[in-house]
Amino acid sequence: MSFVPKGVIPAVVTPMNNDESINESAFRKLLNYLIDNGVHGVFIIGSQGEFYALTKEEKIRLMEIAVEEVNGRVPVYAGTGGITTREVIELNDAAEKIGVDAVSIITPYYISPTQEELYEHYVKIAKATKLPVLLYNNPARTGGVKIDPKTVEKLAEIDNIVGIKDSSGDLTTTSDYIRRTKNKNFHVLAGRDTLILATLLYGGSGSIAATANVAPRLVASIYDYFVQGDLENAKRAQEELTPLRLAFELGTFPVVIKEALNMIGIEAGPARGPIKEMSEEKKAELRKVLQSMKLL
């Protein structure tokens, strides 16, 4: 398969109204803000997009809006992960009909499948769709479920499994994914925003980055400088980004990026309950981070 996942792809938040319904007009504006600031794709309905809090109908609606609004300017990636193989295949069918460019599938959560079960899960999913499939490794959000590098090496043999987003934050794991798949048409993307440049240096293809909602031009520049061979500026941009990623600790995931967007004048609204807004004290700390980055 010729599809190449690459560059900086924001893990787009799902803007909400105060009653926690989806704010469709704000979602459209956010997509345009990101594209206008040089990102290389958009990734909707991921962890940052609160996929776990959305109904199937809401996910389908978000895909429809994104495909319509983006209108081919950059690839649209959609998170279609679920606990069972069956529900993932159903959502992929919808994604394929709507016209998304690729799907990203987190490992099952709540249950703890073996590597053999994970392998079969992804093989069945890949065989049931024509879309490019990105694996998604995020053990911190899935009760420790991890895709072993040996399993990834086997899955990389499947034509439409084109890459993996690694949010483990473990550069050893990321580099092993890269090492084992470097001779295949397979691409490794950083899921930890502090490791974008490190992943690129190891041979990765880019990043799916939550911080790119708030600082799209800065995050995209890490990749752009890298491909131009300007490592000094790539390193500078990566360092500038670090305080924003570290600020995730100021609130319950995934509220911090929404609070930051609201602060810089981009409507994102609240996260869905039980996640609450940040305390005034924590908001003041976040505001200082944004001011130091010249985003406010």
Residue 103 has a pLDDT of 98
Q: Which CATH number covers residue 109?
A: 3.20.20.70
208 is in an annotated binding site: yes
286, part of any domain: no
**Average pLDDT score over residue span 123-146:** 97
Q: Give me the domain span that covers residue 177.
A: 7-232
Mean of per-residue pLDDT scores for the chain: 97
258, part of any domain: no
72, part of any domain: yes
Q: 97 pLDDT band (50/70/90 cuts)?
A: very high
275, part of any domain: no
Residue pLDDT, tens place only, 142-164: 999 999 999 999 999 999 999 99
Question: Does the pLDDT value for residue 188 go beyond 80?
Answer: yes
Residue 1 has a pLDDT of 76
51, part of any domain: yes
Which of 6, 59, 146, 165 is flagged as catalytic? 165
240, part of any domain: no
Residue pLDDT, tens place only, 65-89: 999 999 999 999 999 999 999 999 9
**Average pLDDT score over residue span 47-72:** 98
Q: 173 pLDDT band (50/70/90 cuts)?
A: very high
180, part of any domain: yes
Which of 119, 136, 223, 225 is flagged as catalytic? 136
Q: In total, how many domains does the chain have?
A: 1
Is 136 tagged catalytic?
Answer: yes
Question: Does the pLDDT value for residue 2 go beyond 90?
Answer: no
274, part of any domain: no
Q: 251 pLDDT band (50/70/90 cuts)?
A: very high
For helices 216-228 and 231-246, the axis angle rounded to 10 degrees is: 150
